[in-house]
Amino acid sequence: MNKQDDLSELIGDSRYMPFLHRLTESTLSYVVKVAANFVIAIFQVFNIPAAFLLFIFFIEQLIQKFWPSWNFSITYNFEMIATVFGTWLLLQFLVEKTKRNLVSPTVFPIWFMNTKGVMKNNFFSAELSKKYSADLEQFVRYQADEYINEELRAKQQEIDKLITAIELLREFNTFPNESFESMRRVVELLADIVVEPSNSRHQFEVILDRILVEISSMKIIQQHIRQGSIMLLNERSELKIIGQYNMPNSVVRNKKVLLGEKFAGKVAQSGEVVWIESVNTPGAEIEYGFESNNNRPYDGIMGFPIRESGIENYRPVGVIILHFAKGFQPEQDQMTAVSKVLEVYAQLIISSIKIQNYQMKLRNKYGIIGVEEEVSTTFYSGGDTE
C-alpha cells in the first residue's frame, strides 16, 4: 500500500487529523509533536529497566513462597535502582555508538589513546554502510514523494474547480461561446504543467503568452486588439511584464510601473476595471499620465485587475492590459462580456502562478536548481504595461 493509500485510509475511517497528519509543520504542531515524542521516549528508555526490576521482584516472591527456609530477599534502595537504570542507559549509548562506528570509515578515540585526531576505522563495515545509506536515501525519497503527492493533489483540485467554473459559465448568455474551448485548452495546459513541469513549452512566461493569445481570440475584440500584456506585482511593489502579446522585446525587458502610478499601477491598486476609448485625450493625460502621441501603435486601452476569487479583501496581484486600434468603441454588453471572460482567465493566471511558485519551492528544497525570486509578492510575480 503506497503513502497516498495510507492517507486515503486515514480519511476513510475518520482518523485523519489535519493538525497532526501534515508534511509542513507549523510552530504549534512541531512543539506538540516534540513534547509528545519526548514523553514516549521516557517510557521507552525506562521500559526495560522497570521490567527487569519487576522480574527480580517476581523471583524474590517466588523463592520466598516455595522455599521460605532460604530467607532470600533483595534490598530495594536508591543505589540499586539507580545502578539498574544507569547500566541500561550506558548499554543503550554503547550499542548506538557501536552501530555508528560500524558504518563510519573514521573514528575519534578518547584523547589519551591517540595524538593524531581522527583515525581510520579498520573495522568499518562497507556492507552495513551501504545499507545505511540506502535506507537514508529511501527515507528522503519517501519524504519528497509524500510532499510532492500532497501538493499535486492540491493543484489537481484547483484545476478541477476551474473546469467546474467554466461549465457553470455556460449558463450566462453574455459569456461568448467561443471562449469555452479556449479556456478548456488553457486548463488542459495547466494540467500538463503539473504532469510535465520540465517541458520547455511549460515555462511560466510561455504559459502567460499563450493565455494572452487565447484572450485576443475573443470575437468581440479579435478585429481590434493590437497588443496585450500580463503584468504582475513583484516584491518591490513594481508591475513588470511577464506575459505579452505583440509587445516589443525592449518594452517587455525594461518596462516597470510602480503600484499606484500610471494606468497599470492605478488599475492594479484600485481593483476596478477601466476602459479608455482613446489615450490621446486631455482626460487620459490628467488621470493616468498618458502623453499625446499619434505614432503610438494603439489608441484605446483596457485594464483588468487580477484578483483571487473567494477572497473578501482585495489584494493586488497584477493586471491584464489590452491595447486596441483607433475607432474601437465597445457597447456596454460587450464590455461586460469581456470582463466575464477575463474574470476566468485571471483565475487561470493565478493558478499558473501558484503552480510555478510551488515548483520553484520544490526545486530549491531538494537542490534541483538555485534560489530564484518567486513569481509575485502576493503569491505570484510581476508584469507591466503603460
Superfamily of domain 143-365: GAF domain (3.30.450.40)
Using DSSP, state whether 4 is helix, strand or coil.
Answer: helix
The CATH 3.30.450.40 portion of the chain extends over 143-365
Query: In a structure prediction context, what are the per-residue pLDDT tens digits for the chain, which is 386 residues long?
Result: 445 555 455 444 444 555 565 556 677 777 887 787 777 777 777 777 777 778 888 888 888 788 877 777 777 777 877 888 888 878 877 777 777 777 777 766 655 555 566 666 667 666 666 665 555 566 666 667 667 777 777 777 777 777 766 665 554 544 555 566 666 677 776 666 666 666 667 678 888 888 898 888 888 888 999 999 999 998 889 999 999 999 988 888 889 999 999 999 999 999 999 999 999 888 888 899 888 887 888 999 999 999 887 777 888 999 999 999 998 998 888 888 888 888 888 888 888 888 777 777 776 666 554 444 444 444 443 333 44
Length of the chain: 386
CB atoms within 10 A of CB 322: 26
> Sign of the C-alpha dihedral, residues 44, 48, 50, 54?
positive
> Sign of the C-alpha dihedral, residues 366, 372, 375, 379?
positive
Cα angle: 262, vertex 265, 268; to 5 degrees: 145
Cell numbers at 193, concatenated: 504543467
Query: 277 Cβ partners below 8 Å, 6+ apart?
Result: 299, 300, 328, 329
CA distance 343 to 336: 11
Place of cell 513569481: 375
CA distance 171 to 14: 37
Contact in structure between 198 and 368 (CB atoms under 8 Å) = no
Contact in structure between 341 and 177 (CB atoms under 8 Å) = no
